[in-house]
Amino acid sequence: MPAPTDARDREIALDPPPRRIVSLVPSQTELLASLGLDEAVVGITRFCERPEDWRDRKPIVGGTKQVDIDTVRDLAPDLILANHEENTAEDVAALEEIAPVFVTEVKTVPEACDMIRTVGTLTGTSDQTSTLVGKIISRFKALPGVEPLRAVYFIWREPYMTVGGDTFIHDVMQRAGFENAFGDRARYPEVSLDDLADRDLDVVLCATEPFPFHQKDTFTADIDAALPDTPIEIVDGQAFSWYGSRLLDAPAYLQDLRASLAPRRPTALR
Asked if 51 contacts 33 with a C-beta cutoff of 8 angstroms, the reply is yes
pLDDT at 268: 42
What pLDDT, on a 0 to 100 scale, did the predictor assign at position 1? 66
Q: What is the DSSP string of 36-79?
A: T-TTTEEEB-TT--SSTTHHHHS-B-B-SSSB-HHHHHHH--SE
| 212 DSSP assignment | -
Q: Model's pTM, two decimal places?
A: 0.93
Q: Number of C-alpha atoms within 13 angstroms, CB side, residue 197?
A: 6
Could you give the domains of the chain?
A: 21-108 (3.40.50.1980), 146-263 (3.40.50.1980)
Q: Which of 173, 182, 184 is nearest to 148 (CA)?
A: 173
Give which of 31, 34, 33, 3 is closest to 17, Cα–Cα. Answer: 3
Per residue of the chain (270 residues), what is the pLDDT tens digit? 678 899 999 989 888 899 999 999 999 999 999 999 999 999 999 999 999 999 999 999 999 999 999 999 999 999 999 999 999 999 999 999 999 999 999 999 999 999 999 999 999 999 999 999 999 999 999 999 999 999 999 999 999 999 999 999 999 999 999 999 999 999 999 999 999 988 999 999 999 999 999 999 999 999 999 999 999 999 999 999 999 999 999 999 999 999 999 776 665 444
Residue type for 76, please? A
d(CA 257, CA 98) in angstroms, rounded, equals 44
* Cβ atoms of 164 and 189 closer than 8 Å: yes
The confidence score (pLDDT) of residue 270 equals: 46
Task: Mark 232-260 as b/e (b = at least 16 C-beta within 10 Å).
Answer: ebbbbbbbbbbbbbbbeebbebbbebbee
